[in-house]
Amino acid sequence: EKGEIEDKDNPPIEYGVFEVKMGAQDFMPATVTTSICLSQESSDTGEYRIVELACQHQSESGSSDNATDSEAAAMYLPGTARLASGSLRLFQSLIDDDKEIGQYPLLMARVKPGNTNDDHVEVDFFLTTDTEDWMPDSVVIEELNSVAKEICDALNGDQFEKTGTKADAEKEILNEIFCEVASSSDVGACTWDYISKLPAMKKHYAPVMGDNFRDDVWKLALERKPPVKFTNDVPHLSASDNPLKYMSSTLDSMLQADSPDSSYCPKRDVSIALAFLKTDGWKQARRNPNLKQHRFLPRTFSYTTHVSASQSTNDLGDSLHPFALALLLRSEEFKRESADLKEFEEIKKFSDSCSVFYQREKLGKLLKARDSMFVSLIFDDDVSGQQQSNLDESQNILLLEWGLETEYDGKSPPGEKDIKTVETRPFTLWQISGKNGELDITLTVIADLGGALNRRWLKFAIGKAVKSGVVNGMKELKDVLLSEEGAEGLEQIEEEVEKEVFGGIKAEMTPAQKYFFDEFEIR
């Protein structure tokens, strides 16, 4: 049993209850020890204080109706004790006709880590042991000295390394740390696959956790992930339906869903977007097998391309990954490169994977400035709620962005009295899948240019311009990803994710835990 005890004005006390049984050896009977281990860390110094003390133990045979009063009394810690040469000696009688001895040892320790650049740890021990009352003091003292020496030798000498104790402990601790990361509600199979392949992970932590750590951690994380909300409140879309008609349309509606009793769940909006792709409103474009056009909705196209890291002169390695590309496409830098923006601001952050942004383009010579308040959502999940279990399969991720209604259409934004804007509500869905640097990328757009550009008499000309922009934009994206500029962008994404992941881990750690974690980076 493990748990935590609140300690007012101090860090919580962690506890664990253990039972250890040892078989009879030579002339010594079998022993059983039930103990509780308490530990508390100083939030200021990282010093650990540990106490392990025995609990009362009662064996099944000792609790039988045939047990005598003396036998029953012998199963509890005797009240007789004496100090022998600096060691506290506890007298213990035999239990149930010499078949088993209940032991009641006590251990107290103080573990104080050194500085980050100081490769040592100070450990103070106070040990007691219980032995048969016929044993001489010299034997007891020798036993205590032997135990203390074994502990010190294990911590300082080769024995701790050779037996695998240290390696096993480090592996178990790191598995627990990264399981907490992988079991987060924002982390799906694709995200964890990317995190597990980060340069810092492969250099510092993977060698300790072993070759199968990716699958081991993910398997454990799936068992611990919180229940996933599933919604079947998804309308049926006909071939002529615009998905924006059914998706979350205002920030207020999203905030109401994100009440104290619940949280905004993107599954419904994602399900509607995916249902839109499956309607029979799509037709294949002539002379371009990669392009589809919607039969009913104007300025609506879908284009698919394939990107292979092998075609790049740069060593992209694991950096060309679906999750990395989703982050790149969502970044402010990419938005500003794609449009001449006057303003870009995060309005509301629902989670690490879902935010609402406001952007406004610079004022044109003849046209009003176009603005948009839009949701940007990275979805690393399955709408059915079933997480991908096999990490070796092709990884899939979605980047869904769609415009919200605002009250500023044709009016001045807050703080901008002399500027009139035109509200736009575009729809963009990026579907990215693949592994080992081989990616399939599909972009689906419903362009909303706003104002006069949406009028019927410009429909044909604007439609051709949007179509050309989608095709040429996807070709340019492919070229950029395989260029030196793309390699630098993907490397920057790696650095930012490493900072976010490992910085977030350390921010949640106590001083002693951080000392342990940092050690892997300076080895």
> Do 118 and 139 belong together in one domain?
yes
How far is Cα of residue 299 from the mean position of the Cα atoms in its chain? 38
> Do 128 and 258 belong together in one domain?
no
Quote the number of domains for the chain. 3
Q: Is residue 412 part of a domain?
A: yes
Contact 87, 135 (CB under 8 A): no
Note the pLDDT of residue 408.
57
Q: Is residue 234 part of a domain?
A: no
Note the pLDDT of residue 154.
62
Range of the domain at 381: 243-482
Note the pLDDT of residue 72.
30
Q: In this model, does residue 86 exceed pLDDT 90?
A: no
Whole-angstrom Cα distance, residue 431 to residue 149? 61
The model's pLDDT over 108-132, given as tens digits with 9 standing for 90+, comes to 777 776 655 555 667 776 766 665 5
Note the pLDDT of residue 457.
38
Whole-angstrom Cα distance, residue 205 to residue 178? 10
Q: Are strands 427-435 and 395-404 parallel, antiparallel or unpaired?
A: antiparallel
> Do 55 and 124 belong together in one domain?
yes
Question: Six-digit token pair at 251?
Answer: 């920030």
The helix/strand/coil state of 19 is strand
Q: In this model, does residue 82 exceed pLDDT 60?
A: no
The model's pLDDT over 121-171, given as tens digits with 9 standing for 90+, comes to 677 767 666 655 566 667 767 776 777 677 666 666 555 454 556 778 788
Nearest to 323 by CA among 187, 444, 203: 187
Q: In this model, does residue 8 exceed pLDDT 50?
A: yes
Q: Which residues contact 308 (CB under 8 A, 6 or more apart)?
A: 437, 438, 439
Q: In this model, does residue 210 exceed pLDDT 80?
A: yes
More confident of the two residues 333 and 98:
333
Note the pLDDT of residue 64.
37
> Do 174 and 262 belong together in one domain?
no
> Do 207 and 143 belong together in one domain?
no
pTM above 0.95, yes or no: no
Q: Is residue 490 part of a domain?
A: no
pLDDT-based confidence at residue 78 (cuts at 50, 70, 90): very low
> Do 466 and 345 belong together in one domain?
yes
End residue of a domain, out of 159, 177, 212 = 159
pLDDT-based confidence at residue 514 (cuts at 50, 70, 90): confident
Lowest mean pLDDT among 104-108, 297-301, 413-417, 497-501: 413-417
Q: Is residue 238 part of a domain?
A: no
Kind and range of the H or E run holding 351:
strand 341-351
Note the pLDDT of residue 430.
95
Mean pLDDT taken over the chain: 76
End residue of a domain, out of 100, 135, 159 = 159
Over residues 222-227, mean pLDDT: 80
Q: Is residue 471 part of a domain?
A: yes
Q: In this model, does residue 456 exceed pLDDT 60?
A: no
User: Beta-carbon neighbour count of residue 248 at 10 Å?
Assistant: 20
Q: Which residues contact 158 (CB under 8 A, 6 or more apart)?
A: none
Whole-angstrom Cα distance, residue 268 to residue 449? 26
> Do 61 and 177 belong together in one domain?
no
> Do 32 and 137 belong together in one domain?
yes
The model's pLDDT over 420-437, given as tens digits with 9 standing for 90+, comes to 677 788 899 999 999 999
Over residues 298-305, mean pLDDT: 93
Note the pLDDT of residue 440.
94
Q: In this model, does residue 364 exceed pLDDT 70?
A: no
Q: In this model, does residue 336 exceed pLDDT 50?
A: yes
The model's pLDDT over 371-384, given as tens digits with 9 standing for 90+, comes to 889 999 999 877 66
> Do 21 and 139 belong together in one domain?
yes
The full length of the chain comes to 523
Q: Is residue 489 part of a domain?
A: no
Domain with residue 442: its CATH number is 3.30.530.20
Q: Is residue 140 part of a domain?
A: yes
> Do 151 and 177 belong together in one domain?
no
> Do 461 and 321 belong together in one domain?
yes
Nearest to 32 by CA among 75, 65, 71, 82: 75
Over residues 42-67, mean pLDDT: 60
DSSP string for residues in 116-157: TT---EEEEEEEEEEEETTS-HHHHHHHHHHHHHHHHHHHHS
Kind and range of the H or E run holding 375:
strand 369-379
Q: Is residue 232 part of a domain?
A: no
* Beta-carbon-side half-sphere exposure of residue 302 (alpha carbons within 13 Å): 19
Note the pLDDT of residue 446.
93
Lowest mean pLDDT among 69-83, 250-264, 275-289, 347-361: 69-83
239 secondary structure, DSSP code: T
Q: In this model, does residue 388 exceed pLDDT 90?
A: no
Q: In this model, does residue 185 exceed pLDDT 70?
A: yes
Q: In this model, does residue 211 exceed pLDDT 80?
A: yes
> Do 446 and 346 belong together in one domain?
yes
Contact 325, 487 (CB under 8 A): no
